Structure 1
Amino acid sequence: MKKVLIVTYYWPPAGGPGVQRWLKFVKYLPEFGVEPIVYIPENPTYPLQDTKLRDEVPQGVTVLQKKITEPYAWASVFSKNKTKKISSGIIPNKRKQSFLERLMLWTRGNLFIPDARVLWVKPSVTYLQRYIKENGIDTVITTGPPHSLHLIGMHLKEKTGIRWVADFRDPWTTIGYHKALKLSDYAAQKHKDLERKVMQEADFLLVTSRTTQKEFEAITSKPIHVITNGYDVENVNRLPLDEKFSLAHIGSFLSERNPRILWKALSELIKEEPGFKEHFELKLIGATSQEVLETIEEFRLSPYVNNLGYVSHQEAVQQQRSSQVLLLVEIDSEETKSIIPGKLFEYMVSERPILAIGPEDADFAGIIKQTNTGVFALYDNKDLVKETLLSYYRLYLAQNLKVYPVGLQQYSRRNLTKQLADLLK
């Protein structure tokens, strides 16, 4: 059986989407003749935790740990809440940033390149170099963000000659929040130089979308393979459908994902459609930015909000399956059209219709259309959003609100892991 060393920052009890991809690959790789060995930080600073995910770590898997020094741990001394938000990707609106937030963003972008976990690189390379030689490891896989983990893979390849695969769950210099890091010209160039070097030194790259694949093809000639995120069989109790006409957003609701056309459409339906305001409920499950909450208040929708905050992955799956309609929103920019939110795949197998709002030519728009799981609208198409909500509402009243998906099996975690295992042979 081939031995593969997986270097990842996010691992249970980390919560959020970053942990799911490699937790599921590790679960299924042994079925396809690959033994995964996982390397993680011993004392990480996770902005979100979900202790129930520990139960999903396969029994008997080898997990190696090494201490990490993290600036986020130091910064939390001054403001734990601000540090937690920034480390989880919730960056305040530029006009509303405090001095401390501006300082933290500048420090993060200019002093810790490529990110705040870069101090883990040197001790990890020293430790893993010896482990690889002593344990017959065939391949090293690094997954980012944090992209500093790719530097571990790059140095291990330089020192041992081992095959190295770099997995990009998100892009590096073109991801939405990169521009908010207040980069100097020197820092911006250093990010690009490291990005290019990683892509040219890796034996091959993994990405999660076709758009990212095309973007990276302009940087490197190395093979780039698309393996999307996916869904797994979740053994959770299915709750009854909500009695209310619930529109549920699950996951981080960032300031940049603030669709005013949605809030306007909802406010109009409340005024115009008989019975809508008595039936409607907006469920917010996960961290929601203050700017989003203020906009909801601006459109007088606050009385309809059920803000559940962050919940375990298990409870999130239950909420997905019991909500009437699922809301998926991505930032409206050229940089984000490659982002396929991990929750999309869980949404698709929840058997609930999806209302998605995002940028033109978004990769996930095609997936929703191909699988017949919902409706995708651009940020300037309020009429489509309103018509879709009204259609869903009338089907809800008729007790006939459901979807008829097709072709979902290709996105199962087991099938995706087989694709990965085939690449590793």
Structure 2
Amino acid sequence: MQRSLKFVKHLPALGVECTVITVDPNKGAYPVLDHSLAAEIPPSVRVIRTDTSEPFGSYKKITGRQQIPYGGFANESKTSFQQRFFKFVRGNVFIPDPRRGWNRHVLRAVADLLAQGETFDAVLTSSPPHSTQLIGLALKKRYGLRWLADLRDPWTDIYYHKELNQTPPARWLDAYYERQVLEQADEILVTSPDTKRLFLGKSPRLTASKFHVLPNGYDESDFRIRSTPPTECLLITHTGTISETYHIELFLKACAECSQRHPDVPLRLRFVGKVSDGVRQQIEENNLGSQVEFISFVPHEESVRYLLRATVLLMAIPDVPNNFGILPGKVFEYLAANKPIICIGPVGSDADNLLEECGAGRALAYDAYSAMLEHLEGLIAQWRKNSNLDLPALNNTRYSRKALTQQLVQLMQTK
């Protein structure tokens, strides 16, 4: 959502007239909503909000849950029979995903625009949900429109795909859709080099020149406020969703040991966003309850403020297949905050390489307890000398949303 919104925000200033087709928020269902971001849509951008047809209303009624699942049921840690059943239905009935019911509403809206004599130089479809890419495929086949497919995550290689328990016919159909999109799109946009590698291996008809690594980024206007790290404690902040699959239990243990070794340095942790029950239990098991603050979902602007009020930022990569290509959008906002970054995840991954390139930190392997402890003690030693550990101002403008949108415009214009 951030990626598409920021493209739309900057495209008009770069000479591109935009029409956005999206879901009416009163008709769709989402785990969370941030209405404040609508203020970033330029007045010149036409936004068409459509109806949708999706199963999430029925899901909530049957399960009695107030919140719908995140992708891959990431916000549901229980493995009850009911959850396994819904995962099976998700994987075998709704292919490639339950959002596919929106597609016919979009295609009708586009047909209406074209019937009125409107013309378009390019179409950009962004996913997940990867069913959105089938819209681009249909528009390409029906109207011959130039089509850029923006795939922010892997498709059949996404980390939770095996948990969907697909039957062989369902797996075949899902892979067929993926291959059709990759072969028929004029350009493929991905967010990391490893994701490009995964997609490039899907068909012998694909060439590397068709793929473009256009990472996520940060919006410079979001970081005009001043950094104010606390002076009374060393505060480590994590923003976003985190669950047991991120394997931060040894990092939490290292935090607890450092607190015992260095009682003169108040070590605090702050989690802003969704924290699973399993991670909360790990925090309690390490007797860190009194040192941890939980903040529920907040609007994006407020999330940025929490970054700038931290001493150090914590990022974790889920311990899942193909995680070397996971490059979370928030890492670029972490970089823009100019704070030291502790990354728990695979060494040598795209995220690790990015942090090293920018001088913001390195990845620490999930089982590297000694390295975690050593790194934390180094930060504590620095904090004793100066509670402000902000990094020297680095030139990361190549990852600004405006610079990345300029690259997108060039791809739109390429024939």
Give TM-score scaled by structure 2 length: 0.92
- When residues 182 and 236 of structure 1 are mapped into structure 2, their CA distance, relative to the original with a 3 A threshold, is farther
Q: How does 1:128-167 map to 2 (within 5 A)?
A: 128-132=110-114, 134-167=117-150
Q: 1:71 matched to which residue of 2? A: 55
Asked if 1:244 corresponds to 2:242, the answer is: no
> Following TM superposition, by how much is the alpha carbon of 1:89 offset from its aligned partner in structure 2, in angstroms?
4.7
Asked if 1:398 corresponds to 2:385, the answer is: yes
Map Cα deviations across residues 328-384 of structure 1 (whole Å, 9 max, x no partner).
Answer: 000123411111110101101112111001123310111100111123211121122
Q: Are 2:346 and 2:363, in contact at CA under 8 Å, matched by a contact in 1? A: no
26, 34, 45: which is aligned to 2:8?
26
> Following TM superposition, by how much is the alpha carbon of 1:189 offset from its aligned partner in structure 2, in angstroms?
2.0
Asked if 1:265 corresponds to 2:254, the answer is: yes
Q: 2:81 matched to which residue of 1? A: 99
403, 409, 412: which is aligned to 2:397?
409
Q: 1:115 matched to which residue of 2? A: 97
34, 38, 43: which is aligned to 1:50?
34
Q: Identity across aligned pairs (percent)?
A: 33
Map Cα deviations across residues 48-75 of structure 1 (whole Å, 9 max, x no partner).
Answer: 1112111111112101122001111221
152, 157, 175: which is aligned to 1:174?
157
> Following TM superposition, by how much is the alpha carbon of 1:150 offset from its aligned partner in structure 2, in angstroms?
0.5
Map Cα deviations across residues 191-239 of structure 1 (whole Å, 9 max, x no partner).
Answer: 1111111111111100000111112111241501110000112166446
> Following TM superposition, by how much is the alpha carbon of 1:81 offset from its aligned partner in structure 2, in angstroms?
3.8
Q: 1:126 matched to which residue of 2? A: 108
Distance in 2 (CA, whole Å) between partners of 1:79 and 1:393 is 47
Distance in 1 (CA, whole Å) between partners of 2:347 and 2:163 is 22
The amino acid of 1:364's aligned partner reads: A
Q: How many residues align?
A: 403
Map Cα deviations across residues 140-186 of structure 1 (whole Å, 9 max, x no partner).
Answer: 11100000000111011111111111100111111112122222222
The amino acid of 1:54's aligned partner reads: A
- When residues 32 and 89 of structure 1 are mapped into structure 2, their CA distance, relative to the original with a 3 A threshold, is farther
- When residues 31 and 345 of structure 1 are mapped into structure 2, their CA distance, relative to the original with a 3 A threshold, is same
Distance in 2 (CA, whole Å) between partners of 1:100 and 1:236 is 47
Distance in 1 (CA, whole Å) between partners of 2:189 and 2:356 is 24
Distance in 2 (CA, whole Å) between partners of 1:216 and 1:390 is 41
**4+ long deviations beyond 6 Å:** none
Distance in 1 (CA, whole Å) between partners of 2:110 and 2:397 is 37
Distance in 1 (CA, whole Å) between partners of 2:136 and 2:277 is 38
Structure 2, gaps ≥5 residues long: none
Give TM-score scaled by structure 1 length: 0.90
The amino acid of 1:417's aligned partner reads: T
Equivalent position SS for 2:68 = helix
- Comparing 78-87 and 101-110, the one that deviates more: 78-87
> Following TM superposition, by how much is the alpha carbon of 1:110 offset from its aligned partner in structure 2, in angstroms?
1.2
Asked if 1:389 corresponds to 2:376, the answer is: yes
Structure 1, gaps ≥5 residues long: 1-18
> Following TM superposition, by how much is the alpha carbon of 1:88 offset from its aligned partner in structure 2, in angstroms?
7.8
The amino acid of 1:189's aligned partner reads: W
Q: 2:201 matched to which residue of 1? A: 218
Map Cα deviations across residues 390-417 of structure 1 (whole Å, 9 max, x no partner).
Answer: 1112212211522135441110111101
The amino acid of 1:332's aligned partner reads: D
Distance in 2 (CA, whole Å) between partners of 1:192 and 1:88 is 17
Equivalent position SS for 2:217 = coil
Q: 2:291 matched to which residue of 1? A: 304
